[in-house]
Amino acid sequence: MQTVRDVTYQLFRELGLTTVFGNVGSTEETFLKNFPKDFRYVLAPQEASVIAIADGFAQATRRPVLVNLHTTATANGMGNLATAFQNKTPLIVTAGQQTREMLLMEPWLTDVEPTMLPRPWVKWAYEPARAEDIPAVFMRAVATALQPPSVPYFSRFLSATGRCPVRVRRWFGR
């Protein structure tokens, strides 16, 4: 059986989302481990520059763009997220989160209300409760980001969710 990570990367391929802009941190390691060779990762030193570069790329290509921010540092990119919103740029913004087992104790790098921070500068903000929901969340994110007006979308993903198994048939209607 494939993992959430496998299915998600295949979905990205099918949607033409093979360039990811980001700045890597510990909560994103599981998603970026063994990064596919047919994908391109554009590394930037800080969240504000990540969003600014992705905003320009999305405007130039006229397509949605994947942005991966490092956990609670999402706040550093809020000014440029607001700019992307005003530019009507279809960014798919994600950020890492601690593992579910650790959230109750609110360890370092935990965002207690992760979907609140990016509002009102996103059309939809969501944190999936189950790992198996991640491919469907990305499907909705892309559809939502492309519907007029095109504006950013945000989701927070738990660390280690990419290793969970998922039934491929459920997401692709097979």
- Note if the bond before 165 is cis, omega within 30 degrees: no
What is the rounded CA–CA span in Å between residue 50 and residue 47? 5
For residue 42, give both structure tokens. 């554009």
The confidence score (pLDDT) of residue 173 equals 44
Looking at domain 4-172, what is its CATH homologous superfamily?
Thiamin diphosphate (ThDP)-binding fold, Pyr/PP domains (3.40.50.970)
Give the global pTM: 0.82
Q: In what order do the strands lie in the sheet with 91-97?
A: 40-43, 19-22, 65-69, 91-97, 153-158, 125-126
Instruction: Tell me the one-letter amino acid at 69.
Output: L
Instruction: Tell me the one-letter amino acid at 77.
Output: G
- Report domain extents, the chain: 4-172
Q: Could you please report the per-residue DSSP string of 114-155?
A: TTTTTTTSSS-EE--SSGGGHHHHHHHHHHHHHSSSP--EEE
The confidence score (pLDDT) of residue 125 equals 84
- What stretches of the chain show up as alpha helix (H) in DSSP? 4-15, 29-32, 47-61, 78-87, 100-103, 134-146, 168-172
User: pLDDT digit of tens for each residue in the chain (174 aa)?
Assistant: 788 888 889 999 999 999 999 987 766 777 788 899 999 999 998 889 999 999 999 999 999 999 988 765 677 888 999 999 999 999 998 887 655 666 566 665 666 666 777 778 888 888 887 888 888 989 998 988 888 888 887 776 654 445 555 554 444 444
Helices 134-146 and 4-15 sit at what angle, rounded to 10 degrees? Answer: 20
Q: Burial of 99 by CB count in 10 Å (0-12 exposed, 13-18 middle, 19+ buried)?
A: middle
Question: Smallest Cα–Cα separation from 163: which of 129, 134, 121?
Answer: 134
The answer to whether 66 touches 78, Cβ cutoff 8 Å, is no
